[in-house]
Chain A
């Protein structure tokens, strides 16, 4: 009898948690999925019409980027612009005379799922793998591509670890990495607001940890002072792991000129809301992680919030390439871009196409060698450079944005005067 009861308890507990797990992974937006399906069909049809004669089969590009899960707000738009760039490339004659064809499977922000998809797509002949924009999530999928000798690009990873440091000689990111991004945050905030900064550190992922680390280093280099640095973390589902009341109080008591928030939504949005609710009215500076208006529901009428990101998606970006891409994006999906990380998706395809033409092949090692020779190559994401040591950009100019009364506007493009590389 005891055994039966034990089994019963087990069963209830296990089924409950599976239901919870199920709910957690269903947080996708039906709209986005539909839009993507239509887009994929259009892309395939166009590709079929224009197959170049000397090419027997198209060049396959595999995507294991996340269409659901906490990375989907970053991945979905980047994948959409990759699709736009693929269509544009195909219309202009393709790469090495071949049309590009995208095969995509939802990586679900799940490292194991990503690795399985990468295995499958490379088995089907993918010459380029696009993986999710967080190194911790894509590490396994990237490793699969690396082992198979296939170029792997995480369009918007902002961490220099994506590349040779982690053993990924074939791994690149078209993102602007934290050593540049957080240095810009520090340089700009120091100039605008003065010497006393609080760090509000989200310890959940490496991106946010490095962001505050770089900020702190650059800030002290500039002669600034860090007056407090409380930490918090969020769950894999993207909400605060615990209330941050005490941390907010610590920041408030230290009386900073500016708060550097190293985080991303939803926990980052909750943290921003907690700051304002806790009476911290000082300017807050953040990075690409807090780009976009989709999380503002958590902090209505937010003001004095600044962030450094790729470009402005709010219609006021001075770069015509960006405006063009945003218009194409709206045409494709019917939506305005949520965050400017999407420029990296198009740039990934642009970089792949250029590298393939220069290398004369789609072999992973040849492509990597061609990419490593990039020196301020003009892509939609801005001037792009790689080196044998660094497969992510740190010197590219980035947009400084502001939020006042819940509305976003562009301030300026700025490059880091002194990126902090360790």
Chain B
């Protein structure tokens, strides 16, 4: 097995199930989410949106963390997920008023949030499977560009084709989640799934291919098959993220999932550490927190007798700078790509 050949102490990414690795991030997410959402209504709103982003970062982690293949295209599946759930849950009357060019059967469908989430995930995973069949023959830069092309294709199709969506406008009146608990529960579920996928036999094999493609192949691993599998899983989770986002914001449009979304979530993953669930969690929380602190400074902060005010729009620059500094300081991200470990407790 791959553990014998590649001792786990030298590799980011885990090989054996450990409760602390799974429960640590979950406890942190649950505590931070409830604490933040109790601060104010707007923090609750932000937290719910951030949980959707966390699910997207986990979708990226499943693929990039395990396979080492770059993908700039997963937002395409989030877009599909958001549109799918929107079309399935927006009231028929609103679709008739607002989306006049929509395909008639799509206008007539209406269902609850949860069945619709399942369908959105299925559609996302299916499309990811089809695209993955072709794209996962590539790696490195070629994969990065090809997946980026997927995003551009999705954006162009969904932005212009009004038969299957709102086109360039927003789709309003998407039913919202009633409680923050729903987003937290979904995020926790995804964390469990992603962790289990990561430590599964196939997960370990895929990480072996990431470290040494030849050796892994000699073990009988089909790199392509493994990557397609994980690309599909990642696409499904990304679609779930897009759908969560739609039910959070109450409206959805193609522009919600384009470059800003892609690079924010990638930055979260890279800053946290791409090869662990813990890294995804830390990165998401850290980038959101930095953004919020800067937002406060943009509004003006008085410390003693001095008032600090940052010009509007400085946030983007500082987050970018933080990304560079963190990567110079810790190229594998803040967590070093390691899973959660209770500090000072037994080393395993």
A and B are partners in one complex rather than unrelated chains: yes
**Which residues of A pack against B, CB within 8 Å?**
2-11, 13-19, 21-28, 30, 33, 67-68, 105-106, 108, 111-112, 115-117, 119-120, 122-123, 135-136, 139-140, 143-144, 147, 161, 165-168, 203-206, 209, 233, 236, 422
B133 at the interface (CB under 8 A from A): no
B2 at the interface (CB under 8 A from A): no
Instruction: Please state if B98 and A165 are interface contacts (CB–CB under 8 Å).
Output: yes
Known: A4-B331, A18-B267, A106-B312. A10 touches B170 (CB 8 A): no
Instruction: Please state if B313 and A115 are interface contacts (CB–CB under 8 Å).
Output: no
Known: A111-B249, A136-B253, A166-B172. A6 touches B68 (CB 8 A): yes
Measured as residues with beta carbon below 8 angstroms from the partner, the interface class of chain B is: 35 or more
B316 at the interface (CB under 8 A from A): yes
- Interfacial chain B residues near A161, Cβ < 8 Å: 97-98
Residue among A5, A140, A203 making CB contact with B250, cutoff 8 Å: A140
**A29 to nearest B CB, angstroms?**
10
B3 at the interface (CB under 8 A from A): no
CA distance A240 to B219 in the complex (A): 52
Instruction: Please state if A15 and B323 are interface contacts (CB–CB under 8 Å).
Output: yes
- Interfacial chain B residues near A25, Cβ < 8 Å: 312-313, 315-316
Instruction: Please state if B168 and A209 are interface contacts (CB–CB under 8 Å).
Output: yes
Residue among A14, A143, A203, A422 making CB contact with B172, cutoff 8 Å: A143
- Interfacial chain B residues near A7, Cβ < 8 Å: 270, 274, 327, 331-332
28 CB contacts below 8 A, A to B, read A6-B69, A7-B331, A10-B274, A13-B144, A13-B266, A14-B323, A18-B267, A18-B316, A21-B259, A22-B314, A25-B312, A25-B313, A68-B312, A106-B312, A111-B170, A111-B251, A116-B49, A120-B41, A122-B41, A123-B40, A139-B170, A139-B251, A143-B250, A144-B250, A161-B97, A166-B94, A167-B172, A205-B169
**Restricting to B307-348, which residues have a CB under 8 Å from any CB of A?**
311-317, 319-321, 323-324, 327, 331-332
- Interfacial chain B residues near A203, Cβ < 8 Å: 160, 168
- Interfacial chain A residues near B182, Cβ < 8 Å: none
CA distance A111 to B267 in the complex (A): 21
CA distance A2 to B253 in the complex (A): 36
Instruction: Please state if B97 and A165 are interface contacts (CB–CB under 8 Å).
Output: yes
Instruction: Please state if A140 and B323 are interface contacts (CB–CB under 8 Å).
Output: no
- Interfacial chain B residues near A22, Cβ < 8 Å: 313-317, 319-320
Give the 3 A-B CB pairs with smallest separation, nearest first: A22-B316, A26-B313, A120-B42
CA distance A8 to B44 in the complex (A): 34
Instruction: Please state if B270 and A14 are interface contacts (CB–CB under 8 Å).
Output: yes
Instruction: Please state if A9 and B311 are interface contacts (CB–CB under 8 Å).
Output: no
- Interfacial chain A residues near B173, Cβ < 8 Å: 143, 166-167
- Interfacial chain B residues near A120, Cβ < 8 Å: 40-42, 45
CA distance A18 to B93 in the complex (A): 39
Residue among B250, B315, B316 making CB contact with A115, cutoff 8 Å: B250
- Interfacial chain B residues near A135, Cβ < 8 Å: 169-170
- Interfacial chain B residues near A122, Cβ < 8 Å: 41
**A268 to nearest B CB, angstroms?**
15
| Bitwise interface map of B from 130 to 155 toward A, beta carbon under 8 Å scored 1, else 0 | 00000000001100100000000000
8 other contacts beyond A11-B324, A26-B312, A166-B173, with CB at 8 A cut-off?
Answer: A2-B68, A10-B270, A18-B267, A19-B320, A22-B316, A25-B316, A30-B311, A161-B97
CA distance A150 to B339 in the complex (A): 46
Q: Which residue of B lies closest to A167 (CB)?
A: B173
Main SS of the interface on chain B?
helix
- Interfacial chain A residues near B311, Cβ < 8 Å: 26, 30
**A123 to nearest B CB, angstroms?**
4
| Bitwise interface map of B from 246 to 278 toward A, beta carbon under 8 Å scored 1, else 0 | 000111010110011011101100100011000
- Interfacial chain B residues near A167, Cβ < 8 Å: 91, 93-94, 172-173
Instruction: Please state if A116 and B46 are interface contacts (CB–CB under 8 Å).
Output: yes
- Interfacial chain B residues near A119, Cβ < 8 Å: 41-42, 44-45
**A261 to nearest B CB, angstroms?**
18
Instruction: Please state if A115 and B270 are interface contacts (CB–CB under 8 Å).
Output: no
B210 at the interface (CB under 8 A from A): yes
**A22 to nearest B CB, angstroms?**
3
| Bitwise interface map of B from 40 to 55 toward A, beta carbon under 8 Å scored 1, else 0 | 1110111001000000
B244 at the interface (CB under 8 A from A): no
CA distance A135 to B316 in the complex (A): 25
CA distance A184 to B237 in the complex (A): 49
Instruction: Please state if A17 and B259 are interface contacts (CB–CB under 8 Å).
Output: yes
- Interfacial chain B residues near A105, Cβ < 8 Å: 299
CA distance A11 to B274 in the complex (A): 11
Known: A6-B70, A7-B270, A161-B98. A147 touches B312 (CB 8 A): no
Instruction: Please state if A28 and B263 are interface contacts (CB–CB under 8 Å).
Output: no
- Interfacial chain B residues near A143, Cβ < 8 Å: 172-173, 250-251
B202 at the interface (CB under 8 A from A): no
- Interfacial chain A residues near B315, Cβ < 8 Å: 22, 25
Instruction: Please state if B172 and A9 are interface contacts (CB–CB under 8 Å).
Output: no
CA distance A30 to B173 in the complex (A): 36
Residue among B97, B211, B249 making CB contact with A140, cutoff 8 Å: B249
B104 at the interface (CB under 8 A from A): no
CA distance A177 to B259 in the complex (A): 32
Q: Which residue of A lies closest to B41 (CB)?
A: A123
**A369 to nearest B CB, angstroms?**
21
- Interfacial chain A residues near B168, Cβ < 8 Å: 136, 203-206, 209, 233
CA distance A6 to B275 in the complex (A): 12
Known: A11-B323, A33-B312, A165-B97. A115 touches B263 (CB 8 A): no
Residue among A27, A116, A206, A422 making CB contact with B42, cutoff 8 Å: A116
Q: Which residue of B lies closest to A143 (CB)?
A: B250
**B75 to nearest A CB, angstroms?**
12
Instruction: Please state if A21 and B70 are interface contacts (CB–CB under 8 Å).
Output: no
- Interfacial chain A residues near B40, Cβ < 8 Å: 120, 123
**B8 to nearest A CB, angstroms?**
15
- Interfacial chain A residues near B314, Cβ < 8 Å: 22, 26
Instruction: Please state if A18 and B98 are interface contacts (CB–CB under 8 Å).
Output: no
Instruction: Please state if A112 and B249 are interface contacts (CB–CB under 8 Å).
Output: yes
Residue among A5, A111, A422 making CB contact with B256, cutoff 8 Å: A111
- Interfacial chain A residues near B70, Cβ < 8 Å: 6, 9-10
CA distance A135 to B93 in the complex (A): 18
Q: Which residue of B lies closest to A7 (CB)?
A: B331
CA distance A233 to B320 in the complex (A): 29
Q: Which residue of B lies closest to A168 (CB)?
A: B172
B181 at the interface (CB under 8 A from A): no
**B244 to nearest A CB, angstroms?**
13
CA distance A6 to B139 in the complex (A): 10
CA distance A116 to B311 in the complex (A): 20
CA distance A21 to B275 in the complex (A): 26
**B46 to nearest A CB, angstroms?**
6
- Interfacial chain B residues near A236, Cβ < 8 Å: 255
Q: Which residue of A lies closest to B287 (CB)?
A: A18
Residue among A19, A30, A136 making CB contact with B316, cutoff 8 Å: A19
Residue among B91, B144, B321 making CB contact with A9, cutoff 8 Å: B144
